[in-house]
Copies of this chain bind each other. A is one copy, B any other.
Amino acid sequence: MRLLLISNSTMAGQPYLEYPMPYIKDFIGNQPIKLLFIPYAGVTVKYDDYEAKVKAKFNEIGHEIVSIHHFSDPIQAVQNAQAIVVGGGNTFALTHQLHELGLIDAIRNKVIEGTPFIGWSAGSNVACPSIRTTNDMPIIQPKSFNATSLIPFQINPHYLDAHPEGHGGETREDRILEFLEMNPKETVVGLREGCMFRIEGSQIQHIGEKSLRVFRHKTEPLELNSNENFQFLLK
């Protein structure tokens, strides 16, 4: 299985998809391919416009990409894909549509067979067992919170420590501790912006300058750097 799971598309103040493209290029390789794009997390952007933005970036690194919304049979589009790319946006909108179209199993089966999977933000959430650690607003109710379970742990993308001054709402850590209280057997990784996981078969690598934060029930959170061994996450 080959996965590139990215925290966020864009660093504040930088152009769209700028920082992750060298890693995406390295992950895909030099042989030009045509990737399948899944734009369903886009809510305030039209699918055509979302595809055009993403296509411009993939063309720069020598690859073609086409959005699944052009296909009359989306399951078959997944089955024929050379690689699958799931863009960010609203995780509930994305998951709703994946369930409606029967794509959860289609993507899972295809990626298990070896087709590379790239996701950022909401796209990384749906590689997890469920979407229960998304930061997004539940703007639509999906049939189920279950996702593709390509990895056995939960990612919290855009993980951040900052909390608006004088604000009484929960911190991100508070929210994850609530998740663990309700789901004590699970592991959550706070993946900070500018960071990603690259998974190649049984190997997992964390890429990025920031550390990541691992949360388990009734255990002090672990703060780990990219040079640590993350194999324990795949067990």
Instruction: Give A contacts to B, CB under 8 Å.
Output: 8-13, 43-44, 89-90, 93, 131-141, 144-145, 158, 160, 162-170, 174-179, 181-183, 193
Q: How far is the CB of A79 from chain B (nearest CB, A)?
A: 28
Known: A11-B168, A167-B12, A167-B160. A137 touches B132 (CB 8 A): yes
A181 to B140 Cα, complex, angstroms? 11
**What residues of chain B lie closer than 8 Å to A175, measured between beta carbons?**
90, 136-137, 139
Known: A44-B177, A90-B178. A162 touches B160 (CB 8 A): no
A123 to B158 Cα, complex, angstroms? 27
Known: A11-B166, A133-B137. 6 other contacts (CB 8 A): A12-B166, A44-B178, A44-B181, A136-B175, A158-B167, A162-B164
Out of B9, B89, B137, B169, which one reaches A179, CB within 8 Å?
B137
**What residues of chain B lie closer than 8 Å to A183, measured between beta carbons?**
139-140
